[in-house]
Amino acid sequence: MNIMRCMITTLVVVIAGFAVTATAGHRHASSNPSDIIYDLSRPWPFHESGPADDTDGDGVLDRDDRCPGTPDGAAVDAYGCPIDSDRDGVPDGIDRCPTTERGATVDRFGCPTDSDRDGVFDGRDQCPKTPKGATVDANGCPSDSDRDGVFDGVDQCPGTSMEYAVDSKGCPIPVSETYQQFLDSKSVSVNIEFASGKADILPASESDLHRVGEVLADWPEAEVEIGGHSDSQGAEKFNENLSQRRAESVKSWLTSHYSKINGRNLEPKGYGEKNPVASNATAEGRAQNRRVTFTLLNADDLGKDVETRRYKKRSE
């Protein structure tokens, strides 16, 4: 009898439970949630089950998850917090470059960036914006072995002496053509125009004299003969005297325009018509013979200094 009574009591409780469940479910759908004591429609042990227990889907239940909202795909520890082995700010599992060097700047995939493409990652690169092709050290800074201002790897003339000025390729800049003539031939010939029968230099010739003056100002040790030459028209003695005065006029012009020129090293000499370079029978030939020559007299004494002057110096 007692057993039967217990069974009946249990059945009544179950039926009552279903009734309460239906009522609670109705209230849950239509009433304020704060008015519901508990929703008996949910199975034992009266909480959400299945995927809802792990909102961020990281494998750690919400009740145990210390880092809710973990990005999808991120590897997490036992507490649900993302693991970042290389400490680049991108969690393992998402990080496509999981062994990035410490301090390197990375993109959203965890891969290091190298803006100047020098092989040293941004964040570690102490010399960003290094020119393309330049050789760099471990810090991303370009090297310049010959200290000419053009980086190794870009420098097309490595090993350039520090005394020479260089171009954008790192190669020494040759001196002027007039300078080269002095070095190669030890003599430069210039057709200087003078007033007829006089030693007055005409303005049209000043640009040629400036080219010579620049050389002599840069090379004050050079001893130079200024030779005056004429054509064969007129008396020989007159031409000789005129060419001497014209040579002296050129010396005066040079020393007055270039303070660095050592006047004591300039020796004017008039040759008259003695050393023609063309025939005096034609106007063209006579024009060639009317000239001023600049001849280096102490090339042997200058020795190696001659060769070192083939390129512009850094101070120029």
Q: Where are the domains of the chain?
A: 2-35, 130-173, 177-309
Q: Are 278 and 289 in contact (CB under 8 A)?
A: yes
Q: Is the pLDDT confidence value at 152 over 50?
A: yes
Q: Where are the beta strands (DSSP E) in the chain?
A: 187-190, 224-229, 266-272, 291-296
CA dist., res. 288 & res. 291, Å (int)? 7
pTM beyond 0.95: the answer is no
Rounded Cα gap, residues 6 and 11, in angstroms: 9
Number of neighbours of residue 74 by Cβ within 10 angstroms = 20
Token pair for residue 55?
A: 């909102």
Confidence label for 121 from pLDDT (cuts 50, 70 and 90): very high
316 in Cβ contact with 189 (< 8 Å): no
- Cα angle 304, 305, 308 (rounded to 5 degrees) comes to 90
Tell me the CATH number for domain 177-309: 3.30.1330.60
State the pLDDT at residue 10: 47
Q: What is the pLDDT of residue 5?
A: 57
- Give the pLDDT band of residue 116 (cuts 50, 70, 90): very high
pLDDT tens column, 203-262: 999 999 999 999 999 999 999 999 999 999 989 999 999 999 999 999 999 999 999 999
Q: pLDDT > 90: what percent of the chain?
A: 67
- What strands lie across the sheet with 224-229, from one edge to the other? 187-190, 291-296, 224-229, 266-272
Separation CA 205–CA 161 (nearest Å): 36
- Rounded to whole angstroms, the Cα distance separating 263 from 251 reads 8
290: closest CA among 238, 241, 242, 229? 229
Q: How far apart are CA 292 and CA 271, in angstroms?
A: 10
